[in-house]
Structure 1
């Protein structure tokens, strides 16, 4: 269990139907921390929680106090999203539902196309593999004029997403970007970083970034040889990467090499 002596963050309005609380787990990969979302219609005493995050008692208590929790939804398996799931189930009694059964507590696994009603809100489940094989996004079509999408780590509010290869695959990820872009200018509610105005715009930016990286990988292979190792390609493409995130760079290179070679 973590301990944090700083003043807990306050709930922040993200969209018409959502608020979030920033979890106290900043880091190189989690940016400012995990955004734990609260979904609920105005005036409703009921809410749904997305990604309770790290096992920090004050953070969990604040989420639990936001209303009667109907359900807890998990975007994907990484610990900065799931660590507190079992404890939050104990606190609220609400079922925790994720794509993978091992991350569910008192609830059934989620499937692509599921439509849930929680907190007075319609929530549509979208399978968006790529960052991880179990990544989900949650579409709220009634959230403002263009709806909103909680994207987990599939799309971030700042920077770009690491593909957790070999579990996460670039081909799957590009397909997921296409699927999300088709939802149009929905409000983008990421698990890390700020809320963004247009999902489709960010999807296009992400795809362009991936294409640029693939071009860099192709150029690196031309320079060091088609059978170059992940480390050799990373040395060329990510020459200035901070050592603390070198592993992330190598993971991304491995995913891109797999995509190109297959």
Structure 2
């Protein structure tokens, strides 16, 4: 569960090499919520023999075979599987891919680990000379992580920042306050230098990391103001707020909009802005 699609966006999804170290294998699970499908990332140093896979995606044998084929093409063995978070469109195929590759699965949530230690913000993952730095980015879900690949100047954001549209705060698991803090953490990362591109879990690679993070922060501020105004106008339920604030959004994803609205209402109540 991931985003609201922006109709008519012409940008292509990168399927294949995106950087010197990152290759995208696009899963065949497109939907209004997953956009073009899940981007499974194969990461390896150019001359290495080991690789890391981030977000194997759905349990789809053809997709998992494609991930293994991408590794074979690069001449690498998958040494470890990492999850940005545990939603099924990212994690469902992890155990099967681990079986096929003979490796473990690392995640923040113990329920999604397999034969490997966990992951927390501040960890550094290495494989064949590759270095990934783990950044805690909760909010979309409690267990959301991002991975910084300094050698390529990119950050893999999972569902925290998407290639198109904006992310659902998956209430009650996701918390808006945590999400805003995570966006601020990503902004600080970019402002510190060395990271200028985003490799999302859905949609195309984003070449302006600073610009998209600023957009996300502005978007959240605008939505909060709209929700607060809707409550002031008499709306009392999340559905009523959605019908007013998200009137321009496809009704097929209003159920997801309701999750975000509940998260926004909780956030405003915690701060005493609404009753």
Picking from 231, 239, 247, the partner of 1:221 is: 231
| C-alpha deviation, 1:70, in angstroms | 1.1
| C-alpha deviation, 1:231, in angstroms | 1.5
Aligned residues: 249
2:250 alignment counterpart? 242
1:26 alignment counterpart? 30
1:6 alignment counterpart? none
1:115 counterpart = 2:124: yes
| C-alpha deviation, 1:60, in angstroms | 0.8
What is the distance in 1 between the residues matched to 2:142 and 2:14?
32
* 130-139 vs 238-247, greater mean Cα deviation: 238-247
| C-alpha deviation, 1:219, in angstroms | 1.2
1:35 alignment counterpart? 39
| C-alpha deviation, 1:202, in angstroms | 1.1
1:90 alignment counterpart? 99
What is the distance in 1 between the residues matched to 2:248 and 2:52?
42
Larger relative contact order, structure 1 or 2 (CA cutoff 8 Å, min sep 6): 2
What is the distance in 1 between the residues matched to 2:15 and 2:29?
16
1:153 counterpart = 2:159: yes
Local SS of the residue matching 2:98: helix
Local SS of the residue matching 1:36: strand
What is the distance in 1 between the residues matched to 2:214 and 2:140?
17
Local SS of the residue matching 2:23: strand
Instruction: Give runs of ≥4 in structure 1 deviating > 6 Å.
Output: none
1:213-254 deviation digits (Å, cap 9, x = unpaired):
0111111111115xx111221121122432311101111111
1:179 counterpart = 2:189: no
What is the distance in 2 between the residues matched to 1:222 and 1:101?
42
Structure 2 unaligned residues grouped into runs of 5+: 1-12, 271-275
Q: How does 1:60-99 map to 2 (within 5 A)?
A: 60-65=64-69, 66=71, 67-99=76-108
CA contact (8 A) 1:133 1:168 kept: yes
* 234-243 vs 34-43, greater mean Cα deviation: 234-243
Local SS of the residue matching 1:178: helix
Picking from 208, 217, 220, the partner of 1:198 is: 208
